[in-house]
Amino acid sequence: MSIISTDIKQAIKILNQNDLVAIPTETVYGLAGNIYSESAIKKIFELKQRPLYNPLIVHVASIGQLDEIVEDFPEKAKILANTFWPGPLTMVLKKKSKVPDLVTGGKNTVAVRIPNHTITLELLQLLDFPLAAPSANLFGMISPTNAVHVLDSFQNNLPMILDGGSCQNGIESTIIGFENNEPVLYRLGSLSIEEIENTIGRIKIKNNKEKSPDAPGMLSKHYAPKTATFLVEDVVSFIQKNNYKKIGLLLFSNVIENKTIHHQEILSKNGDLKEAASHLYEAMHRLDKMDLDIIIAQEFPNYGLGKSINDRLTRASKK
Ligand code: TXA
Ligand code: MG
């Protein structure tokens, strides 16, 4: 029997038994467990091979449910919550003491969001507890945007993958923290900075400090395929200057005329950044399975979701 299923009742049963279920969200699939179950949370870290200092995002069904876990809600956090939830925004807020240290990596803050996916919202509403869920991939690898990607990472080491189809946004949530009640961007994601700034004005952008990142999603190497990956401005001249045999390309909207290229992934024929973002990881997963010598990715326009795509491609191409 396949562990991929749409049976919400079964998912509830497994989660109530302190076990894990992979859940769909609009961004990527999450590896979910009860935040109050020590054994469930330990399983998340073990299965993902994720270091314990790297805290998890907590998913809730409603803003009301947050009173249970969040101590303090700054004014701008309220505006963002009302504007973008359910949606691809995670906010790091002061936690209540009942949130276990294991979930937050010992921090006094907790990362929270309300995901925008019908099945998962229904699941969260039916449970008596919030779900901690990091992306359902092995630590450092490409995030999963469909149930088969999750299965590829964990095979039968996971009791169930709740199938919600392909993720609509396809890139992780944007993470915002608050320092002295002012918003700070910790991770670019599928809600653009422009959309956030249109709502609450300018926000500070945290620099990437590899040694002690506030959000390890900011670790410089992350989201990486197994195949060597390069991010370049000019794909054609990169191919000409180098001598790779089996080449895969990751491009925005136009095919490159060159018969020696093994495969080309075009993320949006219409040149739409939102569409491109939604296809990014799918395309990376496909390319990574082709046994290529190299993946060459083209730099995207550096605004809107193009910024988030460039961020992920930069990390994917780090040595
Ligand atoms: O779209 C998403 O955000 C997906 C779906 C499943 O919701 N989840 C996701 O989780 O991307 P994960 O664990 O792969 O990334 C969570 C990021 C990590 O970089 C973590 O360090 C950061 O959130 N984070 C979690 N709690 C934090 C906290 N208290 N302070 C700062 N960063 C935190
Ligand atoms: Mg992740």
Nearest residue CA, atom 20 of ligand 1? 215
For residue 114, give the ligand nearest its CA.
1
Whose Cα sits closest to atom 13 in ligand 1? 134
Asked whether residue 223 is assigned to any structural domain, the reply reads: no
Tell me the C-alpha to C-alpha distance, in Å, between residue 306 and each of 25, 205, 277. 21, 16, 8
Q: Which of 197, 217, 237 is the last residue of a domain?
A: 217
Res 160 pLDDT > 70: yes
Using the Cα atoms of residue 163, residue 11, residue 142 and residue 214 in order, give the sign of their dihedral: positive
The CATH number of the domain holding residue 259 is 3.40.50.11030
The predicted-structure confidence for 97-109, as pLDDT tens digits, reads as follows 999 999 999 999 9
34 and 99 in a single domain? The answer is: yes
Q: Which of 156, 183, 217 is the last residue of a domain?
A: 217
pLDDT band at 206 (very low <50, low <70, confident <90, very high): confident
What angle, 0 to 180 degrees and rounded to 10, lies between the N-to-C axes of helices 305-316 and 273-288?
20
Cβ 174 vs Cβ 196: under 8 Å: yes
Q: Are 88 and 209 within one domain?
A: yes
Phi/psi for 8 (5° steps) reads -60, -40
* Domain, as residue range, for 284: 229-316
Omega prior to 86 cis, within 30 of 0: yes
Number of domains making up the chain: 2
| pTM (two decimals) | 0.96
Asked if 233 and 196 sit in the same domain, the reply is no
- Residue 216: pLDDT over 60: no
Q: Are 233 and 277 contained in the same domain? A: yes
* 180 and 304 housed in the same domain: no
- pLDDT higher than 50, residue 211: no
Q: Is the distance from CB of 136 to CB of 146 less than 8 angstroms? A: no
Whether residues 110 and 189 share a domain: the answer is yes
Same domain for 167 and 236, yes or no, is no
Is residue 57 in some structural domain? Answer: yes
Long-range contacts, stretch 33-38, CB < 8 angstroms, 24+ apart: 33/131, 33/132, 33/133, 34/127, 34/129, 34/131, 34/132, 35/69, 35/99, 35/100, 35/103, 35/129, 35/130, 35/131, 35/132, 36/98, 36/100, 36/129, 37/129, 38/100, 38/102
Query: How many whole angstroms from 89 Cα to the centroid of ligand 2?
Result: 14
For ligand 1, atom 18: residue with the closest CA: 217
Clarify whether residues 210 and 233 are in a common domain. Answer: no
Domain end call among 151, 184, 217: 217
249 and 203: one domain?
A: no
Q: What's the CATH number where 213 sits?
A: 3.90.870.10
Whether the pLDDT of residue 229 is over 80: the answer is yes
With 0-12 / 13-18 / 19 or more C-beta atoms within 10 angstroms meaning exposed / middle / buried, residue 318 is middle
Q: 165 in a domain, yes or no?
A: yes
Q: Which of 98, 112, 271 is nearest to 177 (CA)?
A: 112
> Do both 100 and 176 map to the same domain?
yes
Q: What is the mean pLDDT of residues 55-82?
A: 96
Residues linked to residue 295 through DSSP beta bridges, in sequence order: 229, 248
Could you tell me if residue 255 is inside a domain? yes
Residue 189 confidence (pLDDT) above 90: yes
| 146 CA to centre of ligand 1 in angstroms | 19
Quick one: 72 and 154 in the same domain? yes
Residue 59's Cα: distance from chain center in Å? 13
From the CA of 171, give the closest atom in ligand 1. Answer: 1
